Structure 1
Amino acid sequence: MNRMNNISLSFFKGLLFVGMAYILIKVIDHYEVLFNGINGMLATIWPFLLAFVLAYVFNPIIVFLEKKFKCQRTVSIAMTYIGLLLFCYLGASFLFPVIYQSSKDLVSQIPVYASEIQSWLTNWTSQFKQIDVGDLAAIQDQILRIIPKLTDVLTNFLTSVIGATYHALMGTSNVLLAFIISIYVLLEKEKFSSITRKLVGIICRPKLATHVFHMAHLFHSNIGKYLIGKSIDSLFVGICAVVGLSLMGAKYALLLGVIFGITNMIPFIGPIFGTLIAVGINFFYSPFVALMILVFLLIVQQVETLIIDPKVVGQKMGLNPFLTLLAVTIGGKFMGIIGMILGVPIMGVIKLYFTQFINQEYEKLYLSPQKQKEESLEEAV
C-alpha cells in the first residue's frame, strides 16, 4: 500500500514538473505579452511607488521641523510641500524655458564646435610640416577620431536631460497623484512601517526577516542618507555655479550651472566632467572667461569637498578610487546617469557585506581554533 502511494506521489510530482515546464515554455514563447502585462501593471502602480519614494525623501525635512521647531506633523508637511510647490513654480516659470532653449541652442552648435576643433588641429599640425615626425599625423588622426565620439556623448547627454525633463512634465498627472498619496503616507508613516515589518516577518519568517531588516537598515544608512545629503550638497554647488558663471558673463550660464550640479552627484569623475563641459564650451567664445570658469569651479569643488560635503553628506562609502570608478562604469553601462549616481552607494553596501563575510570566514578558519587552544590552555592552568 505504501509502495502504491509512493508511486502515485512520484507520478503527480512528475506531472506537476511537466506542467510547470510547459507553462514556462509558453511564457518564454510569448514573452512580449508577459512584458506588456508587467509594464501595464507598473504603469498602474507607478504613482504609488513614486509616493513612497517622495515620502522617504521628504521625511528627514519633516522630522527636522518637528524636532527643531516643535511643529505638528500636519504643519511640517504643509510647510514642506508649500515650499516645494513654490520651487516647482519658479522652476517651471523662469528656469525651465531658459534651460530648454539653451539646450537646443547648444546641441545645434556642437557640430560647429567640432569643425572648429578640427580646423585648429589642422592649422597646428601644418606648422610642423618642416619637421619629419611620423607620429604627428597618427596623433592627429587619433584626435580627429575622438572628436565625433565626444560630440555624440555630449549630444546624447544633453538630449537625455531634455528628454527626461520633458517626460517628467508630461507625466504631471501621475506626479501630482503621487504627491497627494505621499502626504497620506507621511501622516501615517508609523502605521505603514509597522504593517511592513509584520508582513516581512510573516512572509520571511524570523531568521530571514532579521537579515531583511538588517539589509534595509544598511540600505537606509549607506544609500538613503548618502543620496539625500548628496542631493542637498549638489543643489548648493549648482546654485553657486549658476551665480558665479552668470557674474562672469559665461555663455549658457544657467544650463552649465545645472549640468555642473547634476554631474556633481556622480562621485570622482562627475565634477571633472561638468567642469570640462563648462570650460570647453566657453573657450570657443572667450578663452579668458573659460580660464576664469576653470579657476572658479576648481575653488567650488575644493570648498565642497573640504567643508560642505563632510557636514551635509557626512556618510562616506569607504571606497577607493578603483572601486569608485568600477561602480560608476558598471552603473553607467546598465542605467546611464542614474546608474552612475546609484553605483557608488550600492557598491558601498556590497563592499560592506563582502568585508563582513571575509572577516567572519577568516575568523572561523583561523581565529576560532586559536581561541579554543587558548581557552583550553587557560582551563588546564
Structure 2
Amino acid sequence: MAGFEFGCTIRWLVAKTIRAGVLHNLVGESSDDSVFQKGSLQVPVVRTSTPRSSILSWGGVARLSLAILIPLLILRWLPLFGEVLVLLFGAALLASALSPPATWLERRGIPRWLGLLLLYLLLLVLLGLILSLAVPVIGTEIERLTQLLPSLVSAGHAQLRSVPLLGNITISPGDIVQFAAQQINTAVNSVTSLAAGIGRLVLNFLLVVVLAYFIAVDAGAGEKVVTRFVPPTYRPHARRLMADSAQRLSRWLWAQGLVMLYFAFALGIGLKLLGVPFAFSLGAVGGVLEIIPYAGGAVAALLALLSGFMVKPILALWVLLYYFVVVEVEAHVIAPAVLGHVIGIHPAAIIVALVVGAKALGIIGALLAIPVAVVITVVLDEVTATWEAEAESPAEEGPPPAVPVTADGDSSDRE
C-alpha cells in the first residue's frame, strides 16, 4: 500500500512538472532547470513542446527584414554606386597582392607602412623602366604608321583585289584614306572629352592606390569590418574565406602579371622575326590586353593579322599559326607553371565568367570577372569542405534519450 501511494505521488509530481514546463513555453519564459525538486525528491523534466521560435522576437524580425531589404537595395542602387564598388574591389585586389610581401618585410623588422611604401616605390621604378623602353619604340612605330598609312592602304586594297571572290570591290584607296582622315579629325575635335576621360581614369587609379595602401597597412581591418556583420557561429568560416580569398587573389595577380609579360615579349619578338610591321607595338598591346584571358590576346592577334595581310596574304597565315603556338605554350607550359592551382577554374568556366562580366559591366566587368570567379570558387570550396567534414565525422555518443512522460503520468513506452 505504501509503495502504491509513493508511485501515485511520483506520477502527480511528474504531471505537475510537465504542465509547468508547457506553460513556460507558451508564455515565452525560459528556464535552464531540467530537474524538478521537492524536498529530497528530484524528478527529471522532459519537455514535450517546442520552445517559441526566436524569429518571432523583435531581433528575429529585424534580421529577416535586413536579409530581404539589403539585396533589394543593392540591386536598386547598383547602377548608382557601381563605380564605387568597382574601385573598392580594385583596391582590395591590389591590397591582397601587396599584403604578402609587406608581411614578409614586417617579419624582418621593417614597419608595415614603410614596407608598403617601398613596394610602391619598386612598382613605380619597374613601371618607369618598362615605359622608358617601350615608349620610344612604340612612338617610332606610330610615326612610321602615319607615314606609311597611304601605301599600306593601297597595298591592302591590291591584296584584296587579288582574291577572286573580292576582285569586284569598288572602294578606292583614296576613299579609305579620306575615311581615315575624317575619323582622325573627329577624334581631334573630341580631344576635350578624351582628356577628361583620361583625367578621370588617372584619378580613379590614384584612388585605388591610396585605398589599397590603407587597406593593406592594417592587416586586420577588413576582417574586423566583415566579421562585425556575421553571426558569431559563422565567424570562423568568414575568417577562413577572407584569408583564402586574399591568398588566391594575391597569387593570381602576380602570376597574371608574369603571363602578360610572356605574351608581350613572345608576340612582339615573333612578329618582328616574321617581318610584320609594328611588331613591338602589337606585342605591347597584346601584353596589356592579356589581363583579360583569351579575349585580349585575340584582339592583338587580329591587329597583327591585318598588319601582315597588308604586306602579303601568306604573312597573315604565318601570323595566325604563330599566334596559336604562343597561345598553346601559354596554356600548357607557362600558365600551369606560373598559375598552378591558384585559380582552380576550368577554362570553359573562365569564358562564361568573362561573358557574364562583360555583359553586366562592360570592360570593367570583364576585368573583374576572374577575381570574382576566384572568390566564388573559394566560397564553394569552403561550403563543400564543411559538408564533407560533417558527413564524415562520427555522431557524438551521448546518454540514452529520456523517456517522455504524458501529463497524466503514464510513460509513452509502457508495455
Q: TM-score, normalised by structure 2?
A: 0.52
Contact 2:156 2:309 in 1 (8 A): no
CA distance, structure 2, for counterparts of residue 354 and residue 52 of structure 1: 20
- Cα distance change on mapping 1:334 and 1:119 into 2, 3 Å: farther
Corresponding residue of 2:128: 89
Distance between the aligned counterparts of 1:270 and 1:331, measured in 2?
14
Q: Deviations over 1:213-271 (max 9, x none)?
A: 34323432444422331122212321332333344442222331123223433334544
Taking a change above 3 Å as real, the CA distance of residues 72 and 239 of structure 1, as seen in their structure-2 partners, is farther
Matches within 5 A, 1:120-131: 120=160, 124-125=164-165
Matched-pair contact (CA < 8 Å) for 1:242–1:256: yes
After superposition, give the CA deviation of every residue in 1:2-55 in whole Å (9 maximum; x if it has no partner): xxxxxxxxxxx9xxxxxxxxxx9xxx9xx99x987x699x59x96x88665544
8 Å CA contact retained: 1:225, 1:315:
no
Residue 58 of structure 1: aligned partner = 98
Higher relative contact order (CA 8 A, sep 6+): 2
User: Whole-Å Cα distance in 2 between the matches of residues 207 and 76 of structure 1?
Assistant: 35
Preserved contact between residue 239 and residue 257 of structure 1 (Cα < 8 Å): yes
Query: 1:50-93 CA distances to partner (integer Å, 9 max, x unpaired)?
Result: 665544333344456678xx683577545533332233334555
1:234 aligns with 2:260: yes
Which residue is equivalent to 2:308? 282
Q: CA separation of 1:225/1:338 partners in 2, compared to 1, >3 Å: closer, same or farther? A: farther
What are the superposed Cα offsets for residues 72-131 of structure 1, whole Å, 9 maximum, x if unpaired?
35775455333322333345556457658849969x979x9799589838952379x9xx
TM-score (norm 1): 0.56
- Inter-CA distance 311–166: structure 2 relative to 1 (3 Å threshold): farther
Q: Is the 8 A contact 1:229 1:314 kept in 2?
A: no
State the AA in 2 paired with 1:120. Answer: L
Residue 264 (str. 1) matches residue 290 (str. 2): yes
What SS does structure 2 have at the residue aligned with 1:204?
coil
1:254 and 1:57 map into 2 onto residues whose CA distance is 29
Q: What's 1:72 paired with?
A: 110
Distance 1:181 1:354 in 2: 28
Residue in 2 that maps onto 1:193: 219
| CA gap 1:58/1:293 in 2 versus in 1, 3 angstroms | farther
Instruction: Describe the superposition over 1:310-337 as per-residue Cα deviations: whole angstroms up to 9, x where unpaired.
Output: 2322235444444333222112212334
Distance across 1 between alignment mates of 2:331 and 2:111: 34
Q: Which runs of 5+ in 2 are unaligned?
A: 1-57, 59-68, 170-182, 396-415
Match of 1:327 among 328, 353, 375: 353
Match for residue 204 of structure 1 among 230, 240, 243 = 230
Q: Which amino acid aligns with 1:58?
A: L
The alpha carbon displacement at 1:357 in A equals 5.7
Deviation track 1:292-319 (CA, whole Å, cap 9, x = no partner) reads 4444443333333333222322235444
Decide which of 209, 218, 241 is 1:215's aligned counterpart.
Answer: 241
Structure 1 counterpart of 2:277, from 248, 251, 276 = 251
User: Retained in 2: the 8 A contact 1:201–1:209?
Assistant: yes
CA contact (8 A) 2:248 2:374 kept: yes
Cα deviation digits, residues 125-164 of structure 1 (max 9, x gap): 379x9xxxxxxxxxx9xxxxxxxxxxxxxx9xxx9xx999
Residue 215 of structure 1: SS of its match in structure 2?
Answer: helix
Counterpart CA distance in 1 for 2:330 and 2:142 is 27
Over 3 Å counting, the alpha-carbon distance change for 1:116 and 1:321 in structure 2 is same
Q: State the partner residue of 1:17.
A: none
* Distance in 2 (alpha carbons) for counterparts of 1:182 and 1:363: 36
Equivalent position amino acid for 1:220 in 2: A
Distance 1:166-1:261 versus aligned 2 partners, 3 A rule: farther
Q: Percent identity between the aligned chains?
A: 21
Partners of 1:292 and 1:176 in 2: how far apart?
42
Q: Work out the CA distance in 2 between the residues paired with 1:228 and 1:244.
A: 24
Q: Match of 1:85, as an amino acid?
A: L
Instruction: Provide the C-alpha distance between the structure 2 equivalents of 1:119 and 1:290, rounded to a whole number of angstroms.
Output: 12
Larger radius of gyration between Structure 1 and Structure 2: 2
Is the contact between residue 265 and residue 283 of structure 2 (CA under 8 Å) also seen in structure 1?
yes
Residue 324 (structure 2) aligns with: 298
> Is 2:93–2:249's contact at 8 Å kept on the other side of the alignment?
no
For 1:175 and 1:342, how far apart are their aligned partners in 2? 15
Gap change, CA 1:171 and 1:325, over 3 Å in 2: closer
Distance in 2 (CA, whole Å) between partners of 1:126 and 1:282 is: 18
Check conservation: 2:241, 2:382, Cα contact below 8 A: no
